[in-house]
Amino acid sequence: MKNKINIQFACFSFKRPLLSRIIKNCITATLREEHITADCEINVLVTDDRGIHEVNLSCRDIDRPT
C-alpha cells in the first residue's frame, strides 16, 4: 500500500516535526486497522480558530470556527 500524507501548518509551532510524526503514525495505524488497502492521499491542515473560521466561511458558509 502506498499512501501520500500531506501535512500543512497554517500556524506557527515549534513542535512541527513531532506533530507531523504523530499525525502520520495515527493515519497509518488507522488505515491498517480499517484494512484499507487502496492507495490513498490524505491532506491535513493544522490551524488555529481564526484559520478554521476562514476555511469554514469560504468552503462551508459557516461563519464561525468549529
Q: What are the tens digits of pLDDT across the range 4-61?
A: 999 999 987 789 999 999 999 999 999 999 999 999 999 999 999 999 999 999 999 9
Residue with cell string 500531506 = 6
pTM over 0.85: no
CA 43 to chain CA mean position, Å: 5
* Measured torsion, CA atoms of residues 56, 58, 64, 66, in degrees rounded to the nearest 10: 10
Are 7 and 23 in contact, with CB atoms under 8 Å apart?
yes
- As a whole number of angstroms, the distance between CA 63 and CA 66 comes to 9
